[in-house]
Structure 1
Amino acid sequence: MKPISLPIALRIAGQPVVLIGEGEGAIAKSRLLRARDAQVRYVGDEPSLVEQFGQAQDSPSVMVGARACFVASDDPDTVSRAVDMARAAGVTLNVMDRPELCEFTVPAIVERGPVQVSIATDGTSPVLARLLRARIESWLPQGFVRLVDLAARWQDRVRRGTANLSDRRRLWEAALTGPIANQAMAGDDAGADQSMQSMLDGQAQAAGEVYLVGAGPGDAELLTLKGLRLLQQADVVLYDALVSQDVIDLARRDAVLEDVGKRRGHCPMPQGAITDRIIEWARQGKRVCRLKGGDPYLFGRGGEEALALVEAQIPFQTVPGISSAAGISAQAGIPLTHRGIARSVRFVTGHLAGGSLPADWQRLVDQQETLVLYMALHHLPAIQASLLAAGVAADTPVALIQNGARANQQVWVTQVDHCAEAAAAIDPDHGPTLVMVGQVVSLREQLGVGTNLADATARSWMLNA
């Protein structure tokens, strides 16, 4: 279907605008008009609008000199009269939920200071426009307005200091998508101004930086807004095996993607080599996103990489992610803690460096504590024996959750004395498996019915379009 309207930006500050109608639609339109300092002539009986604007006469004279007319009413007679008056006066018209009567439509709007992004569907689907608006809201952080302020401060100086339009465009692209942009959005105006001056003076070489980003447990909608912003501005993305494809697909189309994931029995790039690779890319002036499943500092070895970056004097940011334990347990319908059942939670790696098991199981055992085991599936027979030997009741519930927080999530509920047998039936090559031990697992029978991943496919277009 070809578009039939042309999006425009209409200045209505100080201009008379007619608003006719009552109810939520009229109130919503009034907020839109007040935010733009329009002189509203209100025709209707909505008490809050009468209080704000007074009550204009319901006659053709209300249209004289008006810039536009908005009609928000379900009453056919009100709509018909408003349309007749507006058309007789030559006033451009918008009628809520009646696209066939509209001479213009009002888009869904994302605002960041003077920057406005509008989404219009020719009046055919306002709901779809609002859904798209929600997606764009996530792309444009609230701090984005500080970039506008930066551009305003430097517009004249950049124009005077650059020889031609191409140089100016390259300078602005570098400033608004790299470290200077991060300084500005963090509120460091002095640092951003200093960096801009250095760039303008030709003193600054392209500076690399690193983002240690937690990708969450799998569902792309659980990625934080800051993580999404940095992922989408990265030149290079180094991602783990635990990061879902839905999250990887959110990277820029022209970004270099490198799989540096370690899998059981297969470690093509040891941790030291990964760290060296991060530093190598950053020293080439690239923006590097180190994308990790869950949270970078919870069994993600993000601390090791951060220390190496400090030593190499490379600037970096750490963006926390929803941990696998928090995200997966919620999607599986299992609380980590619950009054009267579990007063604490403990996160434990299922194997140590070199493949050995933790030795202090006695210290890890508490009937009122939830035990969450990462990377434990392969060692579950030995873990089962250790738990029983430490005094854990044989009938303590256990959940094995494979591909948690993803559309293909599977959950097996068993108990300690049968968990090794249940683990043997799970193919580890089909995805990562989290193990939860504790009485909270018994709540899944009630809470699991409220957990629905079936809409993941329906939501994927919003994330991957």
Structure 2
Amino acid sequence: MSQPSTKLNAFPVFLRVEGRSVVVVGNGDEALAKARLLGQSSARLIVVADAAEPALRRWAGENGAELVEAAYDPSLVEGSVLVFAASGDEALDRRISEDARRLGIAVNAVDRPELCDFYTPAIVNRAPLAVAIGTEGAGPVLAQMVRARIDAMLPPSLGLLAALANSFRDAAEKLFPKGLARRSFWHAFFSGAPARALEVGGEHEARVAAGRLLAEQGKGTGHVALVGAGPGAEDLLTLRAHRLLMEADVIVHDALVPEAVIGMGRRDAERLPVGKRKGCHSKTQSEINALLVRLGREGKRVVRLKSGDPLVFGRAGEEMQVLRDAGVSFEVVPGVTSAFAAAADFQLPLTLRGVTSSMVFTTGHDLKGGSLPDWAKLAISGATVAVYMGRSVAADVAGRLMDAGLSPDTAVAVVENASLANRRRFHGTLADLPSLQSRDDLGGPVMTIIGDAVAGADFSRSEPLSAHRFVPSPAEETQA
């Protein structure tokens, strides 16, 4: 097979269409698809249709397009800048194409590349920013797939940010000489405080931040994002989390965050593992706090990557407080918490109409105290309980709940490595739960879900907990 040419047969350009006529000829779905595409522009859109289908007629009326209800005639395309032949009739499309070329107008005939002067790209619209993806008509589906990926990467606020940048362009050119200083300012503008303010919907705040950046001679300040990495599967990372990882100078990550998720960040970003896994703490929380403050004060863009959701047993409260006290800018990006991933692995309803309408998140460690915690009372009244990091305290959880009155027959679902390909699922009852404690074969994070709603789960791909009975150690037998 010969190597494909690297030369483009169709050169991409952006054609000015503001206030100029663009004509679409056709009655049905093909004409409607082109009209919708062109409706994203400021062109004067004319649809020529002698028997317009209801959907096309309705769209034209709702979107300000001019509908010319007449049979095609060359005079109807005269003076236009572009013509689209979308009739679905090969002979008519060919006639339209020949007429347009004779009149010196560029023409596109839908699904007829041999009649086209240009191809319509798949478009990511962040006006005034636009990204166009074309395959010279060879693979429209491929172009749409690429468009979807790019669309996911670019925040919806990017168009507003580009427009805001345009309003600061004269001031920036006067203040910063051409070259590195000006590039540095615009880099800080598009990735710093103005961009962050617009992402959360604050146009006024973004303008203030841009003015401050000018006053500070373009020296952007540091920023820390406390980001939820989700339960482990990289495709469960949120779009915002992915964008921040791609922008980060430094990624400070926990031990439970998989390399595949960390690898979604910039390749040249500094990566700092901070551990905090049971029995293996590489840094204390106070050391992590100090590290985040130092990096922020150095002007770095930092992603503090936490397993699951940063606000659920992630100690984000302490990190937010120390950043707030230090005057370092920060934000929180939620992630898919492990309880939700475990429930999805089991197709398990965490709330179930007529059965339970409340839910409890806990680590189970507070069962070590002398009194029954409030969440245990909620479990007895019917709430679904999700126990994080629960393998080592499984016997305590089960014993205390049963002592408090929860039925030993209450359904239980357990997932190791929720959301990942190597996950393992187990099911049983509260009476079976202590068997987890002696399972040395479970090396990954374990999530346990307890409650009547668990009975609605799909157990077809899980192992029964009862197959591995809990055998207490001599010390535990003595304490009993």
TM-score category of the 2 structures, normalised to the smaller one: 0.7 to 0.9
What secondary structure, in the 3-state scheme, does the structure 1 residue paired with 2:105 have? coil
Residue equivalent to 1:6: 11
* Separation of aligned partners in 2, 1:395 and 1:101: 72
Residue equivalent to 1:270: 284
1:95 alignment partner AA: A
* Separation of aligned partners in 2, 1:371 and 1:72: 58
Confirm or deny that 1:145 pairs with 2:150: no
Alpha-carbon distance change, 358 to 130 in structure 1, aligned in 2, over 3 angstroms:
farther
Alpha-carbon distance change, 45 to 149 in structure 1, aligned in 2, over 3 angstroms:
same
Higher relative contact order (CA 8 A, sep 6+): 1
Alignment of 1:225-374 (within 5 A): 225-351=239-365, 356=368, 360=372, 363-366=377-380, 368-374=382-388
More displaced stretch, 418-427 vs 315-324: 418-427
Alignment of 1:104-119 (within 5 A): 104-119=118-133
What secondary structure, in the 3-state scheme, does the structure 1 residue paired with 2:419 have? coil
* Separation of aligned partners in 1, 2:106 and 2:405: 79
* Separation of aligned partners in 2, 1:204 and 1:315: 17
Residue 338 of structure 1, CA deviation: 0.2
RMSD: 2.8
Of residues 437, 443, 458, the one that matches 2:450 is 437
- CA displacement 1:269-320 (0-9 Å, x = unmatched): 1212111111121121111111112221111100011111122221211222
What secondary structure, in the 3-state scheme, does the structure 1 residue paired with 2:167 have? helix
Structure 2: 5+ residue runs without aligned partners? 463-480
1:59 alignment partner AA: D
What secondary structure, in the 3-state scheme, does the structure 1 residue paired with 2:360 have? strand
- Checking the alignment, whether the CA contact within 8 Å between 1:367 and 1:438 is kept in structure 2 is no
- Checking the alignment, whether the CA contact within 8 Å between 1:350 and 1:379 is kept in structure 2 is yes
Alignment of 1:369-448 (within 5 A): 369-421=383-435, 424-425=438-439, 427-429=441-443, 431-445=444-458
Alpha-carbon distance change, 356 to 99 in structure 1, aligned in 2, over 3 angstroms:
farther
Residue equivalent to 2:475: none
1:153 alignment partner AA: S
Confirm or deny that 1:166 pairs with 2:180: yes
* Separation of aligned partners in 2, 1:69 and 1:446: 58
* Separation of aligned partners in 1, 2:165 and 2:86: 38
TM-score where L is the length of structure 1: 0.86
- CA displacement 1:214-242 (0-9 Å, x = unmatched): 22223334333333333322211111233
Of residues 19, 26, 38, the one that matches 2:31 is 26
Q: Percent identity?
A: 36
Alpha-carbon distance change, 446 to 383 in structure 1, aligned in 2, over 3 angstroms:
closer
- CA displacement 1:26-76 (0-9 Å, x = unmatched): 112112334332342514422444864213542344443432221224333
- CA displacement 1:158-212 (0-9 Å, x = unmatched): 1111223322111111222112332344455555455544544556754212111
Alpha-carbon distance change, 146 to 36 in structure 1, aligned in 2, over 3 angstroms:
closer
Confirm or deny that 1:67 pairs with 2:81: yes
Structure 1: 5+ residue runs without aligned partners? 450-465
Residue equivalent to 1:455: none
Alpha-carbon distance change, 386 to 280 in structure 1, aligned in 2, over 3 angstroms:
same
- Checking the alignment, whether the CA contact within 8 Å between 1:395 and 1:416 is kept in structure 2 is yes
Equivalences, count: 446
Residue 129 of structure 1, CA deviation: 2.0
Alpha-carbon distance change, 364 to 66 in structure 1, aligned in 2, over 3 angstroms:
closer
* Separation of aligned partners in 2, 1:341 and 1:41: 56
- CA displacement 1:71-122 (0-9 Å, x = unmatched): 2243334334334434444532222233344321111111222111111122
* Separation of aligned partners in 1, 2:50 and 2:460: 48
TM-score where L is the length of structure 2: 0.84
Alpha-carbon distance change, 204 to 131 in structure 1, aligned in 2, over 3 angstroms:
closer
